Amino acid sequence: MNIKPIGSEKKEGDLIIIKTPQYKWKYKHNYIWEEFHKKNIPKGYCIIFKDNNLANFAIENLECISVAKKRKDSVTKREIGAERKTKNYTLIKLFDGTWKHKHRHIWEEFHKKPVPEGHYVIFKDNNQQNFAIENLICITQKEFFRRRAIAMALDEGSEQQHSNHLLVKLSNNKWVYKHRHIWEEFHKKIVPKGHYIIFKDNDYQNFAIDNLLCIKNTEFLQTRFQAYIQARGYNESQKNGYALVKLANSKWVYKHRHIWEEFHKKTVSGRDVIIFLDGDRTNFAIENLACITRNELTYVSHHNLVFSDAKLSAAGILLAKIKIALIKQKKNSKE
């Protein structure tokens, strides 16, 4: 085995790591800072290069700052007066490097005083891009919430659209899904935890009580996914005992792999595989599919850790993960 001597260096991404006298690999700039100051880097802090030159390890070029400040610096590097959008408002960068709501800053600059504590600056015309000073008014917190309540006030029983479903306003001013509320009122109980109310005929406007069904979360997801697959009109085939499906782009893929990717909204990497936990290649329930590395697959196959019981197989995979991690740790310690 080629064991590198103490002080050896190698690249890791854009940074350099060095082998310390404790036979551990550590970022070189971190190691230099700790050796110079004779202490470890405090928790929640990191070492940065002041001149952003990753090859300049001069001690005066290394600075210990909080991780939170480092994250903030990625934003604060913008020029003074720069603007950025949040969900509803515009922020502006001040001369001291801080960010503030633009409308609040304009009001303070015009009136030459900070906004009083417990007060808000609002837009008279509710146009959050109209920064004219005559459109900005400073009001108390109580007045602010009163105005917002008036703007949002709707009578009990009012309805509004939310995605594909209707919401209804209750007497306690809460908005709930109309179909869910109808089911609860009819059955005189709330929907059990981990359950959904669905439309049997998939017509989101048919609120007849016999069209509403309460099902478990897992059943709901499986039902929705099966409907999704059927809607695509996939053709199926077989290869080595595994089902294949033909996608809209005429490409054939393994059905169990495609179902896992569509459910989790991500692609399986080249070093991973999708397996059936119970060993049944016709059971495409999402809870029966697991993504594991090829190393883990080799281990569970060699030690016969895949069973007809999905829970036992899941436990076998967990054991494989632990064993592989221990082997890797032992190998690294020897280096």
Q: So where are the chain's domains? A: 9-73, 83-152, 159-220, 233-334
pLDDT at 1 over 50: no
How far is it, in rounded angstroms, from Cα 303 to Cα 170?
A: 58
User: By CB neighbour count within 10 A (0-12 exposed, 13-18 middle, 19+ buried), where does 126 fall?
Assistant: exposed
Asked if 143 and 136 count as a contact pair (C-beta separation under 8 A), the reply is: no
User: Of 34-48, 83-97, 129-143, 300-314, where does mean pLDDT reach its minimum?
Assistant: 83-97
What DSSP line would sit under 84-140, residue for residue?
EE-SS-EEEE-TTS-EEEHHHHHHHHHHTSPPPTTEEEEETTS-TT---GGGEEEEE
User: Of 59-73, 94-108, 296-310, where does mean pLDDT reach its minimum?
Assistant: 59-73
Cα angle for residues 212, 216, 217 (degrees, 5° grid) = 110
Asked if 102 and 92 count as a contact pair (C-beta separation under 8 A), the reply is: yes
With a pLDDT cut of 90, the percent of the chain lying above it is 17
Nearest to 202 by CA among 239, 172, 173, 231: 231
Could you tell me the CA-to-CA distances from 242 to 55, 253, 283 in Å, in that order? Answer: 52, 10, 11
How far is it, in rounded angstroms, from Cα 248 to Cα 235?
A: 10
Q: Exposure pattern of 35-44 as b/e (b: 16+ CB <10 Å)?
A: eeeeeeeeee
- Which tokens in the block code for residue 109? 């600059």
Is the full-model pTM beyond 0.75? no
pLDDT at 113 over 50: yes
Domain 233-334 fold is: Homing Intron 3 (I-Ppo) Encoded Endonuclease; Chain A (3.90.75)
pLDDT at 94: 80
Nearest to 256 by CA among 213, 296, 205, 291: 291
| Residues sharing a CB contact under 8 Å with residue 27, sequence separation 6 or more, in sequence order | 12, 15, 16, 17, 18, 47
Beta-bridge partner residues of 100: 92
pLDDT in tens, 274-286: 999 988 888 888 9
**pLDDT greater at residue 303 or residue 335:** 303
Answer left, alpha or beta for residue 241, where phi above 0 means left and psi between -120 and 50 means alpha. left
What does the mean pLDDT of the chain come to? 82
- Which tokens in the block code for residue 227? 């409907």
C-alpha 282: how far from chain center: 31
